[in-house]
Amino acid sequence: MSYIDKPFRPYAPGTQPPNDSPAYRSTILRHPEQKLLKIPQTVTEISGPVFTPEQYKPTENLAVINGHEALGERIIVEGHVRDEDGRAVPNTMVEIWQANAAGRYNHARDQHDAPLDANFHGAGRVFTDEHGAYRFITIKPGAYPWGNHHNAWRPNHIHFSLFGAGYASRLITQMYFPGDPLLELDPIFLATPDKLARQRLIAKFDLGVGKPDWALGYRFDIYLRGRLATPMEG
Ligand SMILES: [Fe+2]
């Protein structure tokens, strides 16, 4: 049996966010109303295109543009991408996007009354190496208000998208920061019912990941499947 045919166990109940999460209001507009249809994956879905650093230049430091540094608390984020058996997943394109230190995205639709930073675009990509490890430098994103309910604020977070070998192997999630008081108020974080599974979305503060006198560090390991699977957005 090749890895292509290998079945994998369904997620344990509550460890992934449901498609419809009433407290996260806009999910009602996006979730399917019909029962999901299983489409068998063939070579077309699970092989190429393979994204490579040669084609898609990595952005190891999001916090510098043309030699000018972004404002904010400089941080280093690193971690591993692993499968259900803890094996490294190499050559995975990890795309990241986030708000600036003031809590504003560099995007026309973000009209939050907070300053933009000319030296921070807030998007980049890196690739996992042969050990499944990735690393990037950025600034800690600020919290921002969103219209979900009265005085709703998103906790500090970085969006992640992971591409495996093909388009059908894309996974999207968010990384949060430890000790954030907004976590327990955030319907997106709370959409994953299982408390232990939610904790897997919170990066670990790690001085060893940082660089002395230069940046603090966080470790965020991502598990694609299995008991330790990272909650993903549907
Ligand atoms: Fe966001």
Q: Which residues are catalytic?
A: 105, 144, 154, 157, 159
CA of 170 to the centre of ligand 1 (A): 18
- pTM here? 0.93
Q: Which residue has the tokens 């970085």?
A: 158
CA of 107 to the centre of ligand 1 (A): 11
**Model confidence pLDDT, tens digit, residues 145-188:** 999 999 999 999 999 999 877 777 889 999 999 999 999 999 99
CA of 41 to the centre of ligand 1 (A): 31
CA of 74 to the centre of ligand 1 (A): 18
Q: How far is CA 219 from CA 77, 79, 179, 225, in A?
A: 6, 5, 14, 19
**Model confidence pLDDT, tens digit, residues 106-140:** 999 999 999 999 999 999 999 999 999 999 999 99
DSSP category for residue 88: B
Q: Give the other-Cβ count within 10 Å of 90's Cβ.
A: 13
